[in-house]
Amino acid sequence: MTFAGKVIRFIEQLHYTGDPLPPGIRIMNPYRESEQALDISKTFYRKYYNDNNKRHLILGINPGRFGAGLTGVPFTDTKRLVSECHIPYQGKVSHEPSSVFVYDMIRAFGGPEKFYGKFYINSLCPLGFTTIDDKGREKNYNYYDSRQLQRAVTGYIIENIKTQIGLGVETDVCFCFGTGKNENFLSKLNDEYHFFGKIIPLEHPRFIMQYKARAVQTYIDKYISSFKMADSQ
C-alpha cells in the first residue's frame, strides 16, 4: 500500500475514542461531517503521496474550522487548495492565515510536489474541537485550552501519534508547530514514550501571522533551514 493509501485508510476510519469531553465542547471530524472534505483529501493524498517514500512528520495542534475543517487537508484553506494545489472546490470560500503562511513557505521550499514529497503534516489530535461563545457563535478550541479537555484526549493523542508513525514516517526528527503549549505537551509525551529521536519546535503559523507579520520572511527562512537540515541527515 502506498503512503497515500495508508493515510486515506487512516482518515476514513478516524473517530474519537478518548474519554468523554467536558460539557460545551464538540468534536469536529471533517471526514465524517463533509463528503466533499473526504473526497478532497483523497485527491490531495493521491496527488502528492502516491509512493512508498518515508517522510518527516510535522505535528500541529488540532484542525480548525476554516482550514482542514472544510478541506480535510491540514493547514490548507479553500483558497490555497485551489490556487496552490490545483484541486477543485465548490462551496464556502475560506481564508485562513495559517494556510497563507504555510503555502508561502512551501512555495519558497520549491512547491507542493517537492515539499509534500518529503514531509507529512497532521496534528497531535487529528480531530478538531469547537465551542459556542457568549454570542452563540461557534469557535475553534484547542486540546490544551482546558485541563479537563487535555486530560480527556491524552490517551487518544498517544494512540494517534503511534498510528501516524505506523504510516511510515521518519522517527529521527519530528517537527512541532507551536513553541509553547503544543511543544511542551509533545515533548513530555516523547520523554515518556520515545516516539522520536528529537523534537524540533517551530513557531505556529497562526502566531506568526497574528503577532509577527512584519517578520514573515524571517520565519519562512527559519522553517526552510530546519526542514532542509533534517532532510539532509
Mean pLDDT computed over every residue of the chain: 95
User: What tens digit of pLDDT does each residue of 53-96 get?
Assistant: 999 999 999 999 889 999 999 999 999 999 999 999 998 899 99
State the CB neighbour count (10 A cutoff) for residue 184: 14
User: What tens digit of pLDDT does each residue of 30-42 get?
Assistant: 999 988 999 999 9
The string of DSSP codes covering 60-84 is ES---TTTHHHHSSTT--HHHHHHT
* CA-CA-CA-CA dihedral for 69, 74, 79, 82, to nearest 10: -110
Residue 204: all three cell numbers together: 505556529
State the CB neighbour count (10 A cutoff) for residue 65: 16
Model confidence, pTM: 0.96
Cβ neighbours of residue 89 closer than 8 Å, sequence gap 6 or more: 36, 40, 71, 78, 81, 82
pLDDT for position 57: 98
Q: What is the mean pLDDT of residues 180-196?
A: 98
Residue 173: all three cell numbers together: 526528527
Q: What is the mean pLDDT of residues 152-160?
A: 98
> Is residue 108 scored above 90 in pLDDT?
yes
> Is residue 232 scored above 90 in pLDDT?
no
Q: What is the mean pLDDT of residues 122-136?
A: 94
Based on DSSP, count helices (H) and strands (E) in the chain, helices before strands: 11, 7
Provide the pLDDT confidence category of residue 233 given band limits of 50, 70 and 90. low
Q: Answer whether 76's CB lies under 8 Å from 67's CB.
A: yes
Domain locations in the chain?
26-231
Fold for the domain defined by 26-231: Uracil-DNA Glycosylase, subunit E (3.40.470)
